[in-house]
A and B are shown apart, each in its own frame.
Chain A
Amino acid sequence: MSEPVLRRTRFDVGMEPVAASTASRLLPLSKVCALLALLAGLSLPALVQAEAVAPAKPGYAVPSERAVHSLLVDVVRAGKRLVAVGDRGHILFSDDQGQNWQQAEVPTRQMLTGVFFVDDQHGWAVGHDAQILASRDGGQTWQRQYRDLEREAPLLDVWFRNRQQGFAVGAYGAVLTTNNGGQTWEEISERLDNPDAYHLNGVTYVEGGGLFVVGELGLMYRSADWGLSWETVASPYEGSLFGVGATGQPGSLVVYGLRGHLFRSSDFGNSWQAIRLEAENGPLEFGLAGSALLEDGQLVVVGHGGSVLLSRDAGQSFTVINRADRLPLAGVASAGNGGLILVGQGGVHLATANGSELDQQ
């Protein structure tokens, strides 16, 4: 079983087992009971239906069974829980390794592009309309902290140091930061040397180094003082970099982007090494979009051709598979049971540890 399902609401989930067990208990009983069961059966579909057509709150994401199969672009773990964000303000969470997903209450219908949790309760999501949303209950409900329609541009990634201090980056060189858990956000774009306002696609923290930001045209910036000052890093590449990930070793990170380009540095960006990525039929040519560092130290990168890259040596070498359906992927997280949760076009895909389809194994 590799198809994740979306539970409509928790109330609904509670109802179904009750109805089922009632019906099964009644089977051997007398006709009177059967009649009662019939009545119960009649009233149940009506109830479920009423729920299904219940409209979303104005401006809130529409509850949808299809959300789990529609475009999602990032997924992270909040403690044992999985939280994924994507198109139409969809935020989904799962407490059973991605088998069943519930849709959170989210005050936007715009695409969300990135999500980050500092612990199992506190998380932030960013997205289009330069929105920043925050959750204090492990992703079940969300409040808007920031929005700027004038920008006509999205924020693209978010990273938090703790419950107070965090950073968001986005289109046209946007960098925002907060020191009070997001109650106020300050724009600090001008601290980066980006006069033409190129897009900034990713932000992360590298142990033993500091903050690292990547963007269009191979742009790279780093900050060792929690964002007060930023230094432009000499880039080994002129194409777009879509993301950046720490490898778990001090000062070591990978950046990745267009056409299967992936570079590794072990000295916080002072020097770079291009990593060769070989797919079944020659060099990998698909864009790479997202990554995750798993609990067991493995580094996983996913990309546009359904590519799943796996490294057991902190990013020095990768095995590559391109999934059969070639559906573009944008985010990855550990499922918590040895498998992977991949998100992208087509929503959530449950995969084995090496990224291939579950039912192909």
Chain B
Amino acid sequence: MSINKQQHTPAPFLERLIFNNRPAVILICTLISLFLFYQAAQVRPSTSFEKMIPLQHPYIKNMMDHRNDLSNLGNTVRIAVEAVDGDIFTKEYMETLRQINDEVFYIAGVDRSGMKSLWSPNVRWTEVTEEGFDGGEVIPQTYDGSAESLEELRNNVLKSGQVGRLVGNNFKSSIIDVPLLESYPDPQDQSRLIKLDYQQFSHELEEKIREKYQAQNPNVKVHIIGFAKKVGDLIDGLIGVVMFFGVAIAITFVLLLWFTHCFKSTLAVVCTTLIAVVWQLGMLNVLGFGLDPYSMLVPFLVFAIGISHGVQKINGIAMASGDAPDALTAARRAFRQLFIPGMVALLSDAVGFITLLLIDIGVIRELAIAASVGVAVIILTNLILLPVTISYIGISQKAVRISREEASKNHPFWRLISNFAHPLVAPISVVVALAALGGGIWYGQNLKIGDLDQGAPELHPDSRYNLDNDFVIRNYSTSSDVLVIMAKTAPEGCSSYKTLSAMDQLMWQMENTEGVQSAVSMVSVSKQVIKGMNEGNLKWETLSRNQDVLNNSIARAEGLYNGNCSLAPVLVFLNDHKAETLERTVAVAKQFAEEHNEDGLEFLLAAGNAGIEAATNEVIASSETTMLIAVYAAVVIMCLLTFRSLAATLCVILPLVLTSVLGNALMAYMGIGVKVATLPVIALGVGIGVDYGIYIYSRMETYLRQGMALQDAYYETLKSTGKAVLFTGVCLAIGVATWIFSAIKFQGDMGLMLTFMFLWNMFGAIWLLPALARFLIKPEKLRQA
């Protein structure tokens, strides 16, 4: 049963069921809307970390198993206070630093005992003397801001070994290290624990620290980094995206009005589509999902898809209104004509989304489910509720008149476009397309897996957070990309010589791997302490075989081994988190583990942001091909079922292939990697992109069957639906294009790629489909059928 046959045979049952019970349809929809609106109001932003990572990957399993043992590695915020002119050894700078230190101390959620800065008493200098260790606070008790005490401070800083850690390598800034408590006692009621609110904490840092002290002392600049700050900025970015939704609605409304020339039906389309969005959000809450940075895309998509189907409905009703006695009849006729093609298009969208379930990452799966639900909802709202609504309110006479005029008048623009089906133009188009395909494949080889930018990949490279991060990396001996390898032993086994010496070898192996800056573990501390116990003699800066010496030496390595000394992390600091760097370092660590794992000593991969990214990259690399095959298989089957023709399927699918290839090339050009955020774009682009082809081809086939020549058939197709197709493409693009301006980098990437996919798929369908049809479709055959 092909579409065009359907259009001429009535679909009596469903149509009768709906249009004979119009009040009931309205009532049921109202009730559902009320319920789901209530549910939608409960939806909360969720930034669950676990959903963004592949929980089934062995690295992540290892990490989750030892999560508590690694907790000391810490949730820390680092505040770097920079002296803009001169260095930190001035009275004014030290005073501002002291005030900031005190202010941070009283912010809720700060682990006060662990705070470290030049002003905290636990930051000391030590020195070996004839009597043993000598030491004191870095800021002398007698500090009074005088030149002498500042000079003493400078000497103490040099002796303290904090250069590169708490004090910048160029002495122009110093850091306040602020460990955080995930939950802290309520000041009103000490027995109750309050969970740290990252967003609020981040805002407090901005208001009480950055803004206040930069205003108070113009010679300081405050830079703040750390997980809590990043998450705070991300949540702020999420809220900003809600504004884009308003912008998308406003633009769409204006375009819709221009397209339909009818305020009533414009309002009806926007309202039913918004109802679809509310239902989708409500369903999200019913299913127990929150709104994460990825699934936030879904309301935009639902809105865009809903509008585009609404437009076709209105277009259909307006055309049907010409010879229909009343609005109800027009609505029924349009319903009869468009329900099945609408269903097919929406189902192919849904099938595209469903293939995303193949990827073992929580946020992508939720995105797949949420988007599928959203598309199902559109079938109810825009294919059923919208025509029923229009059957009551009707379409303005002006719109009907314009639609009738359009149908009869000559369209030079579409006439020009129809030349794409011309026997001389078609071969040129195909050659150009093949060249673009070849070029795209060639350039697309540069496409990388994973995040490619420095700093926090969630945020733009020039975001405040990443600039701060860049400042800290440049001025301190530190890196924000850490691969953690866990050494696991029997309880109390972590301090044995065997374990420590194996860790030491691993560290050296890693440090000799390209892309590694340095490695740190309890071994590093042990060596330093042993050297200290031997009066700073460099000849002792190595592990001892004496177990008592080792036990003593790790006493100060807090946080670098767990409570019962059965797990110790090796922190490997990387230059960057490019896929090659991760692959290379992980491979070295893996090989080392294979060679050195034995009874009672096991090296486990991996934790740290680089470990997580390595696992995510592996999952993405392995699911990319599977997903492409699945999504194309799905749309091919969909097309074969609809058209019962391989040639027709090729005409629809090949332009999509070109778009996918060029999309890859564009990503390579823009420096966007294949990652959690961009992988779904491929499925969404193909799933939604196939709509255009289905719509254009099914129309064109009708005209071909009526005996028209290819170019004439194409002209007629464009005349009746070209505008709707163009409009649909623009609508979809607007829905996602607003994302390009998101403060969150990956949302921007998603927006950019989807905009490209939607527009180029539309262009591909209009340009390439008729050219391919010239070669693949035999109109004579269709006529015989």
Residues of A within 8 A of B (CB): 62, 64-66, 71, 73, 87-88, 109-111, 113-114, 128-129, 149, 152-154, 156, 199, 201, 238-240, 242, 258-259, 281, 285, 287, 289, 304, 326, 328, 330, 344-345
Contact = CB atoms under 8 A, between A and B. Distances in A.
Is the interface on chain B under 10, 10 to 19, 20 to 34, or 35 or more residues?
A: 20 to 34
Given A64-B512, A149-B545, A259 B538 contact: no
Given A281-B155, A330-B538, 17 more contacts: A64-B508, A64-B512, A66-B512, A73-B539, A87-B542, A110-B542, A111-B541, A111-B542, A128-B542, A152-B545, A154-B540, A239-B129, A242-B537, A258-B130, A258-B535, A287-B537, A328-B538
Most buried by A among B155, B511, B545, B546: B545
Contacts of A287: 128, 535-537
Most buried by B among A109, A111, A281: A111
A149 B501 CA distance: 15
Contact of A71 (B158, B538, B546): B538
Given A109-B505, A149-B545, A330 B539 contact: yes
Interface string B531-554: 000111111111011100100000
Contacts of A64: 508, 512
Contacts of B549: 152
B546 to A, nearest CB: 4
Contacts of B536: 287, 304, 328
Nearest to B154: A281
Interface of B: 127-130, 155, 158, 505, 508-509, 511-512, 534-542, 544-546, 549
A154 B538 CA distance: 12
B518 to A, nearest CB: 10
Contact of B535 (A109, A114, A154, A240): A240
Contact of B539 (A149, A152, A156, A285): A156
A201 B535 CA distance: 12
29 contacts: A64-B508, A65-B512, A66-B511, A71-B541, A87-B541, A87-B542, A111-B542, A128-B542, A129-B545, A149-B545, A152-B544, A152-B545, A152-B546, A154-B540, A199-B534, A201-B537, A239-B129, A240-B537, A242-B537, A258-B128, A258-B535, A259-B129, A281-B155, A285-B127, A287-B128, A287-B536, A304-B538, A328-B536, A330-B538
B85 to A, nearest CB: 22
Contacts of B508: 62, 64, 88
A interface, over-half SS: loop
B538 A289 contact: yes
A62 B535 contact: no
Given A62-B512, A149-B545, A258 B129 contact: yes
A60 B713 CA distance: 80
A326 B171 CA distance: 14
Nearest to B538: A330
Contacts of A66: 511-512
A201 B540 CA distance: 11
A326 B160 CA distance: 12
A167 B539 CA distance: 18
A260 to B, nearest CB: 11
A152 B530 CA distance: 13
Contacts of A238: 130
Given A64-B512, A88-B508, A287-B128, A113 B545 contact: no
A289 B540 CA distance: 12
A59 B509 CA distance: 14
A237 B511 CA distance: 41
B131 to A, nearest CB: 9
A240 B549 CA distance: 20
Nearest to A218: B130
Most buried by A among B127, B130, B536, B537: B537
Contacts of B127: 285
Listed from nearest, the 10 A-B pairs whose CB atoms lie closest are A239-B130, A111-B542, A113-B539, A152-B546, A152-B545, A330-B538, A64-B512, A73-B538, A73-B539, A240-B535
A289 B511 contact: no
A152 B128 CA distance: 24
A111 B539 contact: yes
A287 B696 CA distance: 85
A300 B346 CA distance: 84
Contacts of B537: 201, 240, 242, 287, 289
Contacts of A156: 539
Contacts of A330: 538-539
Contacts of B511: 66
Contacts of A239: 129-130
Contacts of A65: 512
